[in-house]
Amino acid sequence: MTADGVAAGASPGTFRDRLRGAFAGALAAASADGALPIAAGDVPGLVDQVREAADPKFGDYSATLAMGLAKKVGKKPRDVAVELATRLADTPGFSAAFTPPGDPVGPGFVNVRVRDDALAAAISAAFVDERLGVPLVARPESIVVDFSSPNVAKPMHVGHIRSTVIGDALARILAFRGHRVITDNHLGDWGTQFGMIIWGWKHCRDDGAFAADPTAELGRLYRLVRNVADAKPEDLAADPPAADLAARHPDAGREVLEETAKLHAGDAENRALWQRFMPACLADIERLYSRLDVSFDHWLGESFFQPFLADVVADLERRGLARESRGATGIFLDGDDKPPFLVRKADGAFLYATTDLATIRWRLEHWRPDRILYVVDHRQGQHFDQLFRTAARWGLPGLDRVALVHVAFGTVLGDDGKPFKTRSGDTVGLESLLDEGVERALAVIAADEGLAEEERRNVAETVGIGAIKYADLCQNRTTDYVFSYDKMLELKGNTAAYMQYAVARVEGVLDKGGVDRAALRRSAPAITLADPKERALALALLRFGEVLEDVEADYRPNLLTAWLYDVAGRYSALYDALPILKADEPSRTSRLALADLTGRVLRKGLDLLGIGTVRRM
User: Angle, nearest 10°, between helix axes 268-292 and 252-265?
Assistant: 90
Of 332 and 362, CB closest to ligand ARG: 362
Helices marked H in 156-251: 159-177, 192-204, 207-212, 214-230, 233-238, 240-248
Alpha-carbon gap, residue 515 to 613, rounded angstroms: 20
> Which residues face 429 on adjacent strands?
157
What is the b/e burial string over 74-99, where b = at least 16 CB atoms within 10 angstroms of the residue's CB? ebebbbbbbbbbebbeebebbbeebb
Of 150 and 605, CB closest to ligand ARG: 150
Residue 123's nearest CA partner among 564, 535, 579 is 535
User: CB of residue 271 vs ligand ARG: minimum separation in angstroms?
Assistant: 21
Contacts of 538 (CB under 8 A, 6+ apart): 119, 120, 122, 123, 527, 529, 594
Of 383 and 522, CB closest to ligand ARG: 383
User: CB of residue 173 vs ligand ARG: minimum separation in angstroms?
Assistant: 20
Residue 312's nearest CA partner among 274, 271, 270, 341 is 341
User: CB of residue 253 vs ligand ARG: minimum separation in angstroms?
Assistant: 21
- How would DSSP label each residue in 311-374? HHHHHHHHTTSEEEETTEEEE-TT-TTS--EEEE-TTS-B-HHHHHHHHHHHHHHHH--SEEEE
How far, in Å, are 196, 366, 424, 463, 543 from residue 599 at the CA level? 51, 40, 44, 17, 15
Of 146 and 255, CB closest to ligand ARG: 146
User: CB of residue 405 vs ligand ARG: minimum separation in angstroms?
Assistant: 12
User: CB of residue 21 vs ligand ARG: minimum separation in angstroms?
Assistant: 38
Of 150 and 464, CB closest to ligand ARG: 150
Of 304 and 470, CB closest to ligand ARG: 304
User: CB of residue 379 vs ligand ARG: minimum separation in angstroms?
Assistant: 9
User: CB of residue 333 vs ligand ARG: minimum separation in angstroms?
Assistant: 18
Of 160 and 600, CB closest to ligand ARG: 160
- Give the residue at shortest CB distance from ligand ARG: 188
C-beta neighbour count of 71 within 10 angstroms? 10
C-beta neighbour count of 540 within 10 angstroms? 21
Residue 226's nearest CA partner among 247, 246, 202 is 246
User: CB of residue 474 vs ligand ARG: minimum separation in angstroms?
Assistant: 24
Length of the chain: 617
Q: Is residue 430 within 8 Å of residue 157, measured between CB atoms?
A: yes
Of 99 and 390, CB closest to ligand ARG: 390
Of 341 and 544, CB closest to ligand ARG: 341
User: CB of residue 387 vs ligand ARG: minimum separation in angstroms?
Assistant: 8
Of 215 and 359, CB closest to ligand ARG: 359
Residue 384's nearest CA partner among 428, 353, 345, 415 is 353
User: CB of residue 315 vs ligand ARG: minimum separation in angstroms?
Assistant: 19
Q: Which long-range contacts (CB under 8 A, 24 or more apart) does 459-463 make?
A: 459/614, 459/616, 459/617, 461/291, 462/500, 462/612, 462/613, 462/614, 463/489, 463/496, 463/497, 463/500, 463/614, 463/617
Q: Which residues bind ligand ARG (CB under 6 A)?
A: 146, 149-151, 186, 188, 356, 359, 374, 376
Helices marked H in 42-115: 43-47, 65-73, 77-88
User: CB of residue 188 vs ligand ARG: minimum separation in angstroms?
Assistant: 3
User: CB of residue 541 vs ligand ARG: minimum separation in angstroms?
Assistant: 37
Alpha-carbon gap, residue 199 to 274, rounded angstroms: 12
Of 159 and 508, CB closest to ligand ARG: 159
Q: Which long-range contacts (CB under 8 A, 24 or more apart) does 1-5 make?
A: 1/128, 1/522, 2/130, 3/518, 4/130, 4/518, 4/521, 5/128, 5/517, 5/518, 5/519, 5/520, 5/521, 5/522, 5/523, 5/524
Of 62 and 359, CB closest to ligand ARG: 359
User: CB of residue 1 vs ligand ARG: minimum separation in angstroms?
Assistant: 44
Of 163 and 587, CB closest to ligand ARG: 163
